[in-house]
């Protein structure tokens, strides 16, 4: 569902003909330009989408006399369409406004050219209709990388995030992360409005990161690029020391790189997370230090084998 008020506000629309509906059951992030429908062809009519009228559609309506225009528009509004948006600041015909009011279909107007408005419309609808989930964790931007820090309560996620903020990185969300699946392979995260820019530090309480460290210390939204999972050090567990095998986790069917960091006294988690973010950026550009070490080792072994009599 898309709320009408959010739709109008996000796209800066003017209401020419209001409606009693407060939301629409739209499922696809797409729109329809009803040129064929105004010409009388209603096969495969995407009636469930917002109907965008541009210069071509308006010129076609202008070419008709009032009686024919009313006939075509009556057939158009007989379908259950969510809304009509008129682009380029053009004024719709009185017949269109009257029929829209009779069928309780809102009519909006924008000054944007049709192509630019169509792009904005799709971007907004993709975000509004995207699947969402909420996770326990901390989301930071570290050297341009969106790092989701997870782990059990009291493991040190907020303390690590606070140290990262002091080192110049940006907090997106603490404790609760609202995740949005904006495409098949991309997740974004943000903080719920109620706790935005706030952080809980045990022994101190709630602090306002934005007020304490400045506007440059926080970020509204960030793409999630990798997951760092914190867990208490287990002497019996064999932790990865070389990084030759990449580990992944899946969130909302999106595969993300995952690193497990054991936590014990004396480890500076903020610096380790910084290094992990930079190493991720290097891997994304095609360089892996672990693979380079493996290559050098193999070359040395081969060289010594060649030197053997």
User: Is 130-292 the same fold as 2-128?
Assistant: no
Amino acid 210: pLDDT: 92
Q: 244: number of CA atoms within 13 Å, CB side?
A: 7
Digit-coded pLDDT (tens) for 252-287: 999 999 998 888 887 888 999 999 999 888 888 887
Q: Which residue has the higher pLDDT, 11 or 305?
A: 11
Q: Is-contact 171 221, C-beta < 8 A?
A: no
- pLDDT, one tens digit per residue, over 96-143 is 999 999 999 999 999 999 999 999 999 999 888 888 899 999 999 999
Q: Residue ranges per domain, the chain?
A: 2-128, 130-292
Share of residues in the chain with pLDDT > 90 (%): 64
pLDDT of 26 = 87
Give pLDDT, residue 188: 93
Answer yes or no: are the C-beta atoms of 106 and 84 closer than 8 Å. Answer: yes
Q: Say if residue 308's pLDDT is above 80.
A: no
Task: Provide the percentage of residues in the chain whose pLDDT is more than 70.
Answer: 98
Q: What pTM did the predictor assign? A: 0.73
pLDDT at 94 over 80: yes
Greater model confidence, 1 or 100: 100
Q: What is the rounded distance in angstroms from the CA atom of residue 58 to the CA atom of residue 159? A: 59
Residues annotated as catalytic (active site), given as ranges: 136, 157, 175, 241
Q: What top-level class would CATH report for the domain 2-128?
A: alpha beta
Query: What pLDDT does residue 200 have?
Result: 87
State the pLDDT at residue 242.
65
Closest by CA to 60, choosing from 40, 35, 80, is: 35
pLDDT for residue 240 is more than 90: no
For β-strands 254-263 and 132-142, DSSP reports them as unpaired
**Third-level CATH fold of 130-292:** Rossmann fold (3.40.50)
pLDDT tens-digit readout, 28-73 = 889 999 999 999 999 989 999 999 999 999 999 999 999 999 999 9
CB contact at 8 A, 73 and 99: yes
Mean of all residue pLDDT scores within the chain? 90
Among the listed residues 68, 105, 112, the one whose alpha carbon sits nearest the alpha carbon of residue 86: 112
On the question of pLDDT at 307 being above 80, the answer is: no
């Amino acid at each position: 569902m898309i709320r009408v008020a959010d739709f109008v506000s996000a796209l800066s629309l003017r209401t020419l003909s209001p409606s009693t509906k407060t939301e629409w059951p739209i499922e696809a992030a797409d729109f329809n330009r009803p040129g064929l429908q105004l010409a009388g062809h209603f096969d495969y009519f995407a009636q469930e989408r917002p109907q965008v009228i541009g210069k071509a559609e308006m010129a076609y309506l202008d070419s008709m006399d009032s009686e024919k225009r009313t006939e075509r528009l009556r057939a158009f509004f007989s379908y259950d369409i969510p809304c009509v948006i008129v682009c380029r600041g053009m004024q719709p015909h009185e017949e269109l406004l009257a029929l829209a009011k009779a069928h309780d279909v809102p009519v909006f107007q924008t000054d944007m050219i049709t192509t630019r408005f169509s792009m904005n419309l799709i971007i907004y609808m993709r975000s509004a209709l995207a699947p969402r989930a909420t996770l326990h964790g901390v989301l930071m931007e570290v050297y341009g990388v969106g790092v989701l820090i997870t782990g059990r309560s009291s493991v040190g996620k907020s303390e690590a995030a606070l140290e990262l903020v002091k080192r110049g990185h940006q907090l997106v969300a603490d404790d609760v992360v609202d995740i949005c699946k904006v495409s098949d392979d991309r997740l974004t995260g943000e903080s719920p409005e109620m706790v935005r820019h706030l952080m809980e530090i045990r022994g101190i309480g709630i602090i306002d990161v934005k007020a304490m460290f400045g506007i440059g210390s926080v970020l509204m939204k960030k793409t999630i690029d990798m997951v760092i999972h914190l867990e208490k050090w287990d002497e019996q567990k064999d932790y990865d020391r070389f990084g030759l095998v990449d580990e992944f986790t899946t969130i909302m069917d999106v595969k993300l790189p995952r690193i497990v960091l054991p936590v014990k006294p004396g480890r500076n988690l903020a610096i380790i997370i910084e290094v992990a973010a930079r190493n991720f950026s290097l891997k994304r550009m095609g360089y892996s230090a672990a693979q380079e070490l493996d290559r050098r080792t193999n070359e040395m072994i081969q060289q010594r084998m060649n030197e053997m009599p």
